[in-house]
């Protein structure tokens, strides 16, 4: 059955103002963010969902969603990479701007369309969909995460990133793939690759390993001693505890044997 067209709940100026206010961008930059996000989103959505979205957007935004090309299957990391490329900004900034656009979409679409939009996208888009559904999830910026690791370890920025990647990749090998995907949703895009590598390394199945083996793998990946690996792992776990929700940190650490508690900060 064909749906009747519905007039937009917000006009173009309101949509633009929402994105501008959320990001601190001027009108021109906010417009670029909207265009980049919607054009990329249109390539990810099914044809039917794109048509439904078109019906509820302000007229000035419809051209960004309309496309004759078929939909493509790509994950949220690739989505944000494409948005960043279109805007000529880094991926972390693209994520911040895309969140604002999804927030504005939440005000422009009715509740059913917001739900349909979320259902049409894979699970890893949840942090963006959450904005449209007004389930805002605060994600620590990767620069802040790495700064905290550096401060705890005395490493420089490059060393902190290397340590963080080594620990996260090994952690993703140790816990269930589903839990790693949940963790990915609460961390910045820059930290996703080591977690995804860990899932691939273990073929999606949690690898049984004691603390000694965990630290050996971290040390090997990072190119440091076991004592340094222990110190760095503790710093990454401490920062992880600050970066994700209490429930998510519990869900990650509950999968680890008791001996790992030497690395895990307590309230």
Boundaries of every domain in the chain: 12-132, 142-262
Model confidence at 11, in pLDDT bands (50, 70, 90)?
Answer: confident
| Residue 154 pLDDT exceeds 90 | yes
CA distances 257 to 29, 234, 263, Å, are 49, 15, 11
Average pLDDT, the chain: 91
Q: pLDDT tens, 156-213?
A: 999 999 999 999 999 999 999 999 988 988 898 889 999 999 999 998 889 999 999 9
Q: pLDDT tens, 212-267?
A: 999 999 999 999 999 999 999 999 999 999 999 999 999 999 999 999 999 998 76
| Residue 8 pLDDT exceeds 70 | no
Answer whether 12-132 and 142-262 agree in fold.
yes
Q: What confidence score (pLDDT) does residue 204 get?
A: 81
| Residue 107 pLDDT exceeds 80 | yes
Let me know if 40 is exposed, middle or buried by CB neighbors in 10 A (0-12, 13-18, 19+).
buried
Closest CA to 39 of 26, 55, 50, 48: 50
Instruction: Give the C-alpha separation, 1 to 57, whole Å.
Output: 21
Tell me the average pLDDT across 71-95.
93
pTM: 0.69
Beta strands in the chain (DSSP E): none
Which homologous superfamily does the CATH classification assign to the domain defined by 142-262?
Uncharacterized conserved protein DUF2267 (1.10.490.110)
Tokens (6 digits) for 103: 């927030």
Instruction: Give the C-alpha separation, 101 to 80, whole Å.
Output: 12
Instruction: Give the C-alpha separation, 143 to 161, whole Å.
Output: 9
The 10 Å Cβ neighbour count of residue 58 is 17
Q: What confidence score (pLDDT) does residue 3 get?
A: 42
Instruction: Give the C-alpha separation, 226 to 219, whole Å.
Output: 6
Tell me if 34 sits within 8 A of 63, measured CB to CB: no
Q: What confidence score (pLDDT) does residue 189 get?
A: 83
Selection from 4-13, 68-77, 170-179 with the highest mean pLDDT: 170-179
Q: What confidence score (pLDDT) does residue 239 get?
A: 97
CATH architecture, domain 12-132? Orthogonal Bundle (1.10)
């Amino acid at each position: 059955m064909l749906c009747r067209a519905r007039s937009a709940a917000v006009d173009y100026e309101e949509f633009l103002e929402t994105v501008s206010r959320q990001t601190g961008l001027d009108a021109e930059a906010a417009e670029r963010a909207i265009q980049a996000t919607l054009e990329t989103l249109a390539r990810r959505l099914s044809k039917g969902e794109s048509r439904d979205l078109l019906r509820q957007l302000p007229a000035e935004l419809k051209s960004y969603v309309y496309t004759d090309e078929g939909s493509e299957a790509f994950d949220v990391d690739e989505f944000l990479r494409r948005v960043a490329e279109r805007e000529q900004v880094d991926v972390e900034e693209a994520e911040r701007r895309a969140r604002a656009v999804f927030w504005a979409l939440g005000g422009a679409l009715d509740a059913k369309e917001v739900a349909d939009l979320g259902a049409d996208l894979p699970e890893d888009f949840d942090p963006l969909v959450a904005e449209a559904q007004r389930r805002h999830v605060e994600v620590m910026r990767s620069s802040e995460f790495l700064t905290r690791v550096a401060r705890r370890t005395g490493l420089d920025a490059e060393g902190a990133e290397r340590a963080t990647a080594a620990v996260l990749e090994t952690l993703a090998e140790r816990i269930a793939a589903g839990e790693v995907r949940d963790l990915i949703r609460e961390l910045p895009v820059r930290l996703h690759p080591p977690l995804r590598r860990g899932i691939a390394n273990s073929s999606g199945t949690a690898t049984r390993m004691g603390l000694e083996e965990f630290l050996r793998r971290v040390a090997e990946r990072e190119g440091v001693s076991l004592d340094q690996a222990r110190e760095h792992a503790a710093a990454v776990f401490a920062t992880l505890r600050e970066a994700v929700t209490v429930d998510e940190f519990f869900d990650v650490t509950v999968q680890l044997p008791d001996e790992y508690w030497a690395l895990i900060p307590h309230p």
